[in-house]
Protein backbone atom coordinates (compact mmCIF):
# COMPACT_ATOMS: atom_id res chain seq x y z
CA UNK A 1 0.00 0.00 0.00
CA UNK A 2 0.98 3.60 -0.40
CA UNK A 3 2.89 5.27 2.37
CA UNK A 4 0.66 6.94 4.94
CA UNK A 5 1.85 10.37 3.86
CA UNK A 6 0.63 9.74 0.31
CA UNK A 7 -3.03 9.64 1.22
CA UNK A 8 -4.10 12.90 -0.35
CA UNK A 9 -7.17 14.88 0.69
CA UNK A 10 -9.15 14.22 -2.49
CA UNK A 11 -9.73 10.45 -1.98
CA UNK A 12 -10.35 11.10 1.71
CA UNK A 13 -12.97 13.73 0.85
CA UNK A 14 -14.68 11.45 -1.68
CA UNK A 15 -14.64 8.42 0.61
CA UNK A 16 -15.97 10.09 3.72
CA UNK A 17 -18.42 12.50 2.12
CA UNK A 18 -19.65 11.71 -1.40
CA UNK A 19 -19.34 7.92 -1.26
CA UNK A 20 -20.58 7.58 2.30
CA UNK A 21 -23.57 9.80 1.57
CA UNK A 22 -24.46 7.72 -1.49
CA UNK A 23 -24.59 4.44 0.46
CA UNK A 24 -26.26 5.73 3.64
CA UNK A 25 -27.97 9.08 3.85
CA UNK A 26 -29.17 8.42 7.40
CA UNK A 27 -25.74 7.61 8.80
CA UNK A 28 -24.17 10.40 6.77
CA UNK A 29 -26.39 12.86 8.62
CA UNK A 30 -25.11 11.54 11.96
CA UNK A 31 -21.51 11.61 10.74
CA UNK A 32 -21.72 15.22 9.61
CA UNK A 33 -22.97 16.40 13.00
CA UNK A 34 -20.18 14.61 14.89
CA UNK A 35 -17.19 16.62 16.14
CA UNK A 36 -14.54 16.78 13.45
CA UNK A 37 -12.07 14.52 15.25
CA UNK A 38 -14.53 11.64 15.35
CA UNK A 39 -15.70 11.71 11.74
CA UNK A 40 -12.79 9.97 10.05
CA UNK A 41 -12.43 6.83 12.20
CA UNK A 42 -16.18 6.35 12.61
CA UNK A 43 -16.86 7.11 8.96
CA UNK A 44 -14.17 4.74 7.71
CA UNK A 45 -15.36 1.96 10.03
CA UNK A 46 -18.85 2.40 8.62
CA UNK A 47 -17.64 2.33 5.01
CA UNK A 48 -15.64 -0.85 5.53
CA UNK A 49 -18.55 -2.53 7.32
CA UNK A 50 -20.92 -1.37 4.59
CA UNK A 51 -18.64 -2.90 1.95
CA UNK A 52 -18.64 -6.23 3.78
CA UNK A 53 -22.42 -6.01 4.05
CA UNK A 54 -22.62 -5.50 0.29
CA UNK A 55 -20.53 -8.62 -0.22
CA UNK A 56 -22.71 -10.85 1.95
CA UNK A 57 -25.88 -9.42 0.36
CA UNK A 58 -24.79 -10.24 -3.21
CA UNK A 59 -27.27 -13.06 -3.65
CA UNK A 60 -26.32 -13.66 -7.27
CA UNK A 61 -23.15 -15.28 -5.93
CA UNK A 62 -23.28 -18.70 -4.19
CA UNK A 63 -23.27 -18.45 -0.42
CA UNK A 64 -19.97 -20.34 -0.13
CA UNK A 65 -18.35 -17.76 -2.41
CA UNK A 66 -19.66 -14.91 -0.28
CA UNK A 67 -18.33 -16.59 2.86
CA UNK A 68 -14.93 -16.98 1.16
CA UNK A 69 -14.79 -13.28 0.30
CA UNK A 70 -15.96 -12.35 3.81
CA UNK A 71 -13.21 -14.42 5.41
CA UNK A 72 -10.65 -12.99 3.00
CA UNK A 73 -11.56 -9.43 3.90
CA UNK A 74 -11.51 -10.26 7.61
CA UNK A 75 -8.02 -11.73 7.24
CA UNK A 76 -6.84 -8.57 5.49
CA UNK A 77 -8.24 -6.45 8.30
CA UNK A 78 -6.35 -8.58 10.80
CA UNK A 79 -3.09 -9.18 8.95
CA UNK A 80 -2.77 -6.47 6.32
CA UNK A 81 -4.16 -5.87 2.86
CA UNK A 82 -3.54 -8.31 -0.02
CA UNK A 83 -4.08 -6.35 -3.22
CA UNK A 84 -4.29 -9.51 -5.33
CA UNK A 85 -7.08 -10.97 -3.20
CA UNK A 86 -8.79 -7.58 -2.99
CA UNK A 87 -8.75 -7.14 -6.76
CA UNK A 88 -10.05 -10.68 -7.33
CA UNK A 89 -12.90 -9.99 -4.96
CA UNK A 90 -13.90 -6.66 -6.46
CA UNK A 91 -13.73 -8.06 -10.02
CA UNK A 92 -16.09 -10.87 -9.01
CA UNK A 93 -18.49 -8.59 -7.15
CA UNK A 94 -18.67 -5.26 -8.97
CA UNK A 95 -20.48 -6.65 -12.01
CA UNK A 96 -23.09 -8.24 -9.75
CA UNK A 97 -24.26 -4.93 -8.27
CA UNK A 98 -27.33 -3.16 -9.62
CA UNK A 99 -26.52 0.03 -7.72
CA UNK A 100 -23.85 2.45 -8.94
CA UNK A 101 -23.14 3.40 -5.32
CA UNK A 102 -22.49 -0.23 -4.35
CA UNK A 103 -20.16 -0.66 -7.30
CA UNK A 104 -18.23 2.47 -6.38
CA UNK A 105 -18.06 1.33 -2.77
CA UNK A 106 -16.43 -1.98 -3.71
CA UNK A 107 -14.09 -0.31 -6.20
CA UNK A 108 -12.96 2.06 -3.44
CA UNK A 109 -11.83 -0.69 -1.07
CA UNK A 110 -8.10 -0.23 -1.90
CA UNK A 111 -8.40 3.48 -1.06
CA UNK A 112 -10.28 2.66 2.13
CA UNK A 113 -7.47 0.33 3.21
CA UNK A 114 -4.96 3.01 2.31
CA UNK A 115 -6.74 5.48 4.54
CA UNK A 116 -6.88 2.85 7.30
CA UNK A 117 -3.12 2.37 7.12
CA UNK A 118 -2.63 6.14 7.27
CA UNK A 119 -4.39 6.37 10.63
CA UNK A 120 -2.68 6.47 13.97
CA UNK A 121 -1.89 3.03 15.34
CA UNK A 122 -4.56 3.20 18.04
CA UNK A 123 -7.30 4.40 15.70
CA UNK A 124 -6.40 1.73 13.15
CA UNK A 125 -6.60 -0.95 15.86
CA UNK A 126 -10.04 0.30 16.88
CA UNK A 127 -11.37 0.43 13.33
CA UNK A 128 -9.98 -2.99 12.42
CA UNK A 129 -11.37 -4.45 15.64
CA UNK A 130 -14.92 -3.19 15.19
CA UNK A 131 -15.16 -4.23 11.55
CA UNK A 132 -13.77 -7.70 12.36
CA UNK A 133 -16.44 -8.14 15.04
CA UNK A 134 -19.15 -6.98 12.64
CA UNK A 135 -17.97 -9.57 10.11
CA UNK A 136 -18.56 -12.24 12.76
CA UNK A 137 -22.21 -11.16 12.88
CA UNK A 138 -22.44 -11.27 9.09
CA UNK A 139 -20.85 -14.70 9.01
CA UNK A 140 -23.39 -15.77 11.64
CA UNK A 141 -26.19 -14.75 9.26
CA UNK A 142 -24.69 -16.61 6.31
CA UNK A 143 -23.98 -19.82 8.21
CA UNK A 144 -26.98 -19.95 10.56
CA UNK A 145 -29.77 -19.37 8.08
CA UNK A 146 -30.53 -21.17 4.79
CA UNK A 147 -29.70 -19.77 1.39
CA UNK A 148 -32.00 -16.88 0.56
CA UNK A 149 -33.30 -18.58 -2.58
CA UNK A 150 -33.82 -22.03 -1.05
CA UNK A 151 -37.36 -21.46 0.10
CA UNK A 152 -36.40 -22.73 3.55
CA UNK A 153 -36.91 -20.86 6.81
CA UNK A 154 -35.01 -21.13 10.08
CA UNK A 155 -35.38 -19.35 13.42
CA UNK A 156 -32.91 -18.56 16.16
CA UNK A 157 -33.32 -21.08 18.96
CA UNK A 158 -33.63 -18.85 22.02
CA UNK A 159 -33.22 -15.40 23.54
CA UNK A 160 -29.52 -15.98 24.24
CA UNK A 161 -28.86 -16.50 20.53
CA UNK A 162 -30.68 -13.26 19.76
CA UNK A 163 -28.72 -11.40 22.43
CA UNK A 164 -25.42 -12.71 21.04
CA UNK A 165 -26.45 -11.65 17.55
CA UNK A 166 -27.45 -8.13 18.59
CA UNK A 167 -24.07 -7.73 20.28
CA UNK A 168 -22.10 -8.87 17.21
CA UNK A 169 -23.89 -6.55 14.79
CA UNK A 170 -24.61 -3.50 16.98
CA UNK A 171 -23.69 -3.79 20.65
CA UNK A 172 -20.03 -3.87 19.71
CA UNK A 173 -20.51 -0.58 17.86
CA UNK A 174 -21.53 1.03 21.15
CA UNK A 175 -18.21 -0.08 22.63
CA UNK A 176 -16.26 1.28 19.67
CA UNK A 177 -18.16 4.58 19.72
CA UNK A 178 -17.57 5.01 23.46
CA UNK A 179 -13.90 4.12 23.33
CA UNK A 180 -13.06 6.50 20.53
CA UNK A 181 -15.30 9.29 21.90
CA UNK A 182 -13.52 9.23 25.25
CA UNK A 183 -10.14 9.26 23.53
CA UNK A 184 -11.04 12.22 21.30
CA UNK A 185 -13.23 14.28 23.65
CA UNK A 186 -11.59 15.95 26.62
CA UNK A 187 -14.96 16.61 28.29
CA UNK A 188 -15.54 12.83 28.58
CA UNK A 189 -12.27 12.00 30.34
CA UNK A 190 -14.00 11.81 33.73
CA UNK A 191 -16.43 9.16 32.55
CA UNK A 192 -16.47 5.80 34.30
CA UNK A 193 -15.44 4.05 31.10
CA UNK A 194 -16.46 0.58 32.27
CA UNK A 195 -19.97 1.78 33.03
CA UNK A 196 -20.23 3.79 29.80
CA UNK A 197 -19.00 0.88 27.70
CA UNK A 198 -21.80 -1.25 29.16
CA UNK A 199 -24.35 1.48 28.42
CA UNK A 200 -22.96 1.78 24.90
CA UNK A 201 -23.38 -1.94 24.30
CA UNK A 202 -27.00 -1.81 25.41
CA UNK A 203 -27.57 1.28 23.26
CA UNK A 204 -26.39 -0.67 20.23
CA UNK A 205 -28.56 -3.64 21.17
CA UNK A 206 -31.58 -1.34 21.47
CA UNK A 207 -31.09 -0.09 17.93
CA UNK A 208 -30.60 -3.60 16.56
CA UNK A 209 -33.62 -5.00 18.39
CA UNK A 210 -35.64 -2.22 16.77
CA UNK A 211 -34.30 -3.27 13.36
CA UNK A 212 -35.01 -6.95 14.06
CA UNK A 213 -38.63 -6.29 15.04
CA UNK A 214 -39.26 -3.82 12.24
CA UNK A 215 -37.79 -6.11 9.58
CA UNK A 216 -39.55 -9.37 10.52
CA UNK A 217 -41.67 -9.56 7.32
CA UNK A 218 -38.74 -8.97 4.99
CA UNK A 219 -36.37 -11.26 6.85
CA UNK A 220 -38.88 -14.11 6.81
CA UNK A 221 -38.96 -13.95 3.05
CA UNK A 222 -35.24 -14.59 2.80
CA UNK A 223 -35.40 -17.51 5.22
CA UNK A 224 -34.48 -15.70 8.45
CA UNK A 225 -36.49 -15.54 11.65
CA UNK A 226 -34.74 -13.70 14.46
CA UNK A 227 -37.72 -14.12 16.79
CA UNK A 228 -36.64 -16.99 19.09
CA UNK A 229 -38.20 -20.35 18.29
CA UNK A 230 -38.60 -21.14 21.99
CA UNK A 231 -40.86 -18.10 22.42
CA UNK A 232 -42.87 -18.90 19.30
CA UNK A 233 -43.29 -22.52 20.43
CA UNK A 234 -44.78 -21.32 23.71
CA UNK A 235 -47.55 -19.66 21.69
CA UNK A 236 -48.06 -22.61 19.37
CA UNK A 237 -46.74 -20.56 16.45
CA UNK A 238 -44.14 -21.82 13.97
CA UNK A 239 -41.75 -19.61 12.02
CA UNK A 240 -43.64 -20.65 8.87
CA UNK A 241 -46.90 -19.39 10.40
CA UNK A 242 -45.42 -15.90 10.54
CA UNK A 243 -45.39 -15.77 6.74
CA UNK A 244 -49.13 -15.13 6.96
CA UNK A 245 -50.01 -11.60 8.14
CA UNK A 246 -53.12 -13.11 9.72
CA UNK A 247 -50.86 -14.68 12.36
CA UNK A 248 -50.05 -11.22 13.71
CA UNK A 249 -52.53 -11.36 16.59
CA UNK A 250 -51.44 -14.82 17.75
CA UNK A 251 -47.76 -13.91 17.60
CA UNK A 252 -48.18 -10.43 19.06
CA UNK A 253 -46.96 -11.44 22.56
CA UNK A 254 -43.54 -12.19 21.06
CA UNK A 255 -43.52 -8.78 19.40
CA UNK A 256 -44.58 -7.11 22.65
CA UNK A 257 -41.84 -8.89 24.60
CA UNK A 258 -39.30 -7.83 21.99
CA UNK A 259 -40.44 -4.21 22.20
CA UNK A 260 -40.21 -4.30 26.01
CA UNK A 261 -36.68 -5.69 25.77
CA UNK A 262 -35.75 -2.93 23.34
CA UNK A 263 -37.25 -0.32 25.68
CA UNK A 264 -35.18 -1.73 28.53
CA UNK A 265 -32.06 -1.28 26.42
CA UNK A 266 -33.19 2.23 25.45
CA UNK A 267 -33.13 3.15 29.15
CA UNK A 268 -29.36 2.71 28.93
CA UNK A 269 -29.31 4.79 25.76
CA UNK A 270 -31.09 7.59 27.61
CA UNK A 271 -28.52 7.39 30.43
CA UNK A 272 -25.76 7.49 27.81
CA UNK A 273 -27.15 10.68 26.30
CA UNK A 274 -27.60 12.36 29.69
CA UNK A 275 -23.98 11.57 30.60
CA UNK A 276 -22.63 13.61 27.69
CA UNK A 277 -21.89 17.17 28.91
CA UNK A 278 -24.30 19.74 27.52
CA UNK A 279 -21.48 21.70 25.94
CA UNK A 280 -20.77 18.71 23.63
CA UNK A 281 -23.69 19.68 21.41
CA UNK A 282 -22.59 17.82 18.30
CA UNK A 283 -21.91 14.59 20.13
CA UNK A 284 -25.23 14.83 21.98
CA UNK A 285 -27.10 15.28 18.70
CA UNK A 286 -25.28 12.34 17.09
CA UNK A 287 -26.44 10.17 20.01
CA UNK A 288 -29.94 11.63 20.33
CA UNK A 289 -30.98 11.19 16.70
CA UNK A 290 -30.75 7.39 16.46
CA UNK A 291 -32.24 7.10 19.97
CA UNK A 292 -35.29 9.17 19.01
CA UNK A 293 -35.72 7.53 15.60
CA UNK A 294 -35.51 4.13 17.28
CA UNK A 295 -38.22 5.00 19.79
CA UNK A 296 -40.33 6.58 17.07
CA UNK A 297 -40.05 3.38 15.05
CA UNK A 298 -41.11 1.27 18.03
CA UNK A 299 -44.13 3.54 18.46
CA UNK A 300 -45.18 2.94 14.85
CA UNK A 301 -44.51 -0.78 15.18
CA UNK A 302 -46.48 -1.14 18.41
CA UNK A 303 -49.50 0.46 16.72
CA UNK A 304 -49.18 -1.57 13.51
CA UNK A 305 -51.83 -4.29 13.64
CA UNK A 306 -50.46 -5.67 10.36
CA UNK A 307 -46.87 -5.87 11.55
CA UNK A 308 -46.30 -9.16 9.70
CA UNK A 309 -47.47 -7.74 6.38
CA UNK A 310 -44.56 -6.66 4.15
CA UNK A 311 -46.91 -4.20 2.44
CA UNK A 312 -47.41 -2.32 5.75
CA UNK A 313 -43.88 -1.49 6.95
CA UNK A 314 -43.30 0.07 10.35
CA UNK A 315 -41.23 3.18 9.78
CA UNK A 316 -41.35 6.81 10.78
CA UNK A 317 -42.24 9.28 8.07
CA UNK A 318 -39.77 11.67 6.52
CA UNK A 319 -41.82 14.54 7.96
CA UNK A 320 -41.49 13.02 11.44
CA UNK A 321 -37.73 12.86 11.02
CA UNK A 322 -37.50 16.48 9.85
CA UNK A 323 -39.57 17.66 12.81
CA UNK A 324 -37.45 15.60 15.19
CA UNK A 325 -34.26 17.11 13.81
CA UNK A 326 -35.60 20.64 14.18
CA UNK A 327 -36.85 20.20 17.73
CA UNK A 328 -33.73 18.33 18.86
CA UNK A 329 -31.41 21.12 17.75
CA UNK A 330 -33.36 23.45 20.03
CA UNK A 331 -33.82 21.09 22.97
CA UNK A 332 -30.52 19.22 23.04
CA UNK A 333 -28.96 21.57 25.60
CA UNK A 334 -31.46 20.52 28.26
CA UNK A 335 -31.41 17.08 29.83
CA UNK A 336 -34.86 17.74 31.30
CA UNK A 337 -36.27 18.54 27.86
CA UNK A 338 -34.77 15.44 26.26
CA UNK A 339 -35.81 13.18 29.16
CA UNK A 340 -39.39 14.43 29.00
CA UNK A 341 -39.47 13.92 25.23
CA UNK A 342 -38.17 10.38 25.60
CA UNK A 343 -40.61 9.70 28.43
CA UNK A 344 -43.55 10.75 26.23
CA UNK A 345 -42.40 8.47 23.43
CA UNK A 346 -42.05 5.55 25.84
CA UNK A 347 -45.51 6.19 27.26
CA UNK A 348 -47.03 6.13 23.78
CA UNK A 349 -45.38 2.77 23.12
CA UNK A 350 -46.51 1.36 26.45
CA UNK A 351 -50.10 2.40 25.74
CA UNK A 352 -49.99 0.71 22.33
CA UNK A 353 -48.81 -2.53 23.89
Residues 313 and 216 in one domain: yes
Is residue 173 situated within a structural domain? no
Residues 97 and 230 in one domain: no
Residues 349 and 212 in one domain: yes
Rounded to an integer, the average pLDDT of 248-271 is 98
The answer, yes or no, to whether residue 155 has pLDDT greater than 90, is yes
**Average pLDDT for the chain:** 93
pLDDT-above-90 percentage for the chain: 80
Residues 12 and 123 in one domain: yes
- Asked if residue 52 lies in contact with residue 134, where contact means CB atoms within 8 angstroms, the answer is yes
Q: Cα-Cα-Cα-Cα dihedral of 100, 102, 103, 108, to 10°?
A: 120
Q: What residues have CB less than 8 Å from 42, skipping those under 6 apart?
A: 31, 34, 177, 180
Range of the domain at 274: 205-353
Residues 35 and 127 in one domain: yes
- Band of the pLDDT at 2, cuts 50, 70, 90? very low
Quick one: pLDDT at residue 19?
A: 87
Q: How far apart are CA 289 and CA 269, in angstroms?
A: 11
Rounded to an integer, the average pLDDT of 246-255 is 97
Residues 211 and 140 in one domain: no
- Each residue of 296-311: pLDDT tens digit? 999 999 999 999 999 9
Residues 80 and 223 in one domain: no
- Of 94, 116, 144, the residue that ends a domain is 144
- Of 144, 174, 197, the residue that ends a domain is 144
Residues 298 and 212 in one domain: yes
Is residue 277 situated within a structural domain? yes
What is the pTM assigned to this prediction? 0.93
Quick one: pLDDT at residue 3?
A: 46
Quick one: pLDDT at residue 17?
A: 83
Is residue 36 situated within a structural domain? yes
Residues 228 and 325 in one domain: yes
- Each residue of 22-79: pLDDT tens digit? 888 778 888 889 998 899 999 999 999 999 999 999 998 999 999 999 999 999 999 9
Residues 218 and 324 in one domain: yes
Secondary structure class of 81 (helix, strand, coil): coil
| Backbone phi, psi, residue 225, to 5° | -125, 110
Read off the CATH number of the domain in which 209 is found.
1.10.600.10
Is residue 135 situated within a structural domain? yes
Q: Does residue 238 or residue 21 have the better pLDDT?
A: 238
Is residue 168 situated within a structural domain? no
Q: Which of 108-117, 197-206, 319-328, 332-341 has the lowest mean pLDDT?
A: 108-117
Quick one: pLDDT at residue 9?
A: 56
User: Taking Cα atoms as reference points, which of 109, 117, 168, 174 lies closest to residue 144?
Assistant: 168
Q: What residues have CB less than 8 Å from 142, skipping those under 6 apart?
A: 56, 63, 66, 67, 70
Rounded to an integer, the average pLDDT of 123-137 is 96
Q: How far apart are CA 252 and CA 328, in angstroms?
A: 32
- Angle formed by the axes of helices 83-94 and 63-79, nearest 10°: 150
Is residue 40 situated within a structural domain? yes
Is residue 276 situated within a structural domain? yes
Quick one: pLDDT at residue 287?
A: 97
- Each residue of 4-34: pLDDT tens digit? 445 555 567 778 888 888 888 778 888 889 9
What does DSSP assign to residue 97? -
Is residue 83 situated within a structural domain? yes
Rounded to an integer, the average pLDDT of 114-127 is 93
Residues 112 and 234 in one domain: no
pLDDT winner (highest mean) among 8-12, 188-192, 198-202: 198-202
Rounded to an integer, the average pLDDT of 191-210 is 97
- Tally of structural domains, the chain: 2
Burial class (CB in 10 A: 0-12, 13-18, 19+), 174: buried
- Of 144, 163, 188, the residue that ends a domain is 144
Residues 126 and 227 in one domain: no
Cα distances from 94 to residues 12, 274, 333, in angstroms, run 21, 43, 45
Amino acid sequence: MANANRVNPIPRQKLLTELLKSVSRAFYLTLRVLPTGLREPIGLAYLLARAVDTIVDTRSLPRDERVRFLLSLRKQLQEGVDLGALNEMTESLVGQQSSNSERRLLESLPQAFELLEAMSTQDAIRVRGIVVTLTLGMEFDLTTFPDEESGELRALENADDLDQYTYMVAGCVGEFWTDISVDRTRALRKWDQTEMLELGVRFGKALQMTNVLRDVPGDLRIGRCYLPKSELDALGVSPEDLMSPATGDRARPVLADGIRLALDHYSSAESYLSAIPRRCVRLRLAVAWPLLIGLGTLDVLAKNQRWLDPDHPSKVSRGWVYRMLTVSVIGILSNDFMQNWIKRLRQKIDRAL
